[in-house]
Structure 1
Amino acid sequence: MGVCTAFHVVMGDLAVHLLQGLIGEEVTQNQRVLLIFAIGWLVVLPLSLTLTSDSILLSTTAVVGFTCFMVVVGSCGYVCFMDAVKGNILSNLPSSAMMEGVHVVLLISVVMSIPSIIQPCRQAIGTLLFEQQVNGTFSVKGDMSLCQHIATTSILLFLTMTAGILVQDVETVLGVVGTTTGAIICYIFPSLMQSKLRKGTVSGKVDHAARIYF
């Protein structure tokens, strides 16, 4: 959800830049909000509802697009501008017809990537909340009914879109995601897994008793 929020921020920045070029004047905050909601509900939501775990077209397109931008605009941009590079590296480059085309292609790539991010998040929620256990285990498919599928996708999109509107700095979003998930993956989850595995052992019972006592 954090990465999806960052993508909404980037999507908003790109869309605002293109709209400013079309209308020739500064885009207001209200116009930015309407623009993000319009793209989200009219484009991203239908794509997210139709995307399944077997659909690889959007994922492949997004990966290829971002790889090209990373190698060409990213690497070459850092070599050219070094410490002067901005958070959005495209802002360092002069405005031209080619750069407008780059913004359009990047916007399309971002929009097509959001459904690919929502899909595994929706699958995890489906496994956690809706899927029934079989012989004490989950199939980890995240199967859900049509209503649950639509409701979960809409809620995920609304929450991440709202967060992307409120926090307009993509660096802040990625910083929060990196610090929280990094600590969880590196320290909290391994400890919980170890505690779970040692729960029935003698040392595990001693540790549990010690934690209760202290």
Structure 2
Amino acid sequence: MRIKFQQSLDELKERLLVMAGLVEQAIQRATEAYTSRDESLCELVKMSEPAINRMEREIDQLALDLLAMEQPMAVDLRFILSVIRINVDLERMGDQAVNIAGRVLDLGKQANVDLPVDIPRLALLSAAMVRKALQAFIEGDAEMAQSVLMLDDQVDDMNRDAFRALGDLIKDKPELAPQALNALIISRNLERVGDHATNIAEDVIFWVRGRDVRHHSLPDDGD
């Protein structure tokens, strides 16, 4: 029975990682579309949403079945609970990618102007947080997960800088308000991606160390 249970845990992890791959691809395509103004990439992002949503439901059901039938204890219970929460964050990242794609499509209808925001750099940092958080999950590495939390402030600072710069642009050049507002929302979407990566990192720490670090300062010591 223990071998069968472990196989089910492995399947749960594999399904989550497949979903994570779809979400990462959607985020990458959406941010590439911003740089290239490639509407076909936006359409691919939108087409990926049903598959991500379907996988979210399947993963939830598998996790709930394991909780109901196996009554796992200790670290296995924390793992399943973490998967359920990570699953939600991944689905919401997919939503952020779809939102970005929609804004890029709007930008494609407007004059292409230089905006005082480095969306590609913000996208790279947010994507790096996602990759590191998922790698921490794959390896069960709480220290790597903790390092993700340190990056969140940088993403937040960049988003605040974008808000100020684009707000000033709207005041000075109101004719550019549509482009500035779309860029502002894209910046906010990427900041939310970083928030979801932070949530995943916190769930990895909970799984591995049994510590709930949400809304609290991280301890310096390890286990």
TM-score between both structures, scaled by the size of structure 1: 0.35
Larger helix fraction of residues: 2
Larger Rg: 1
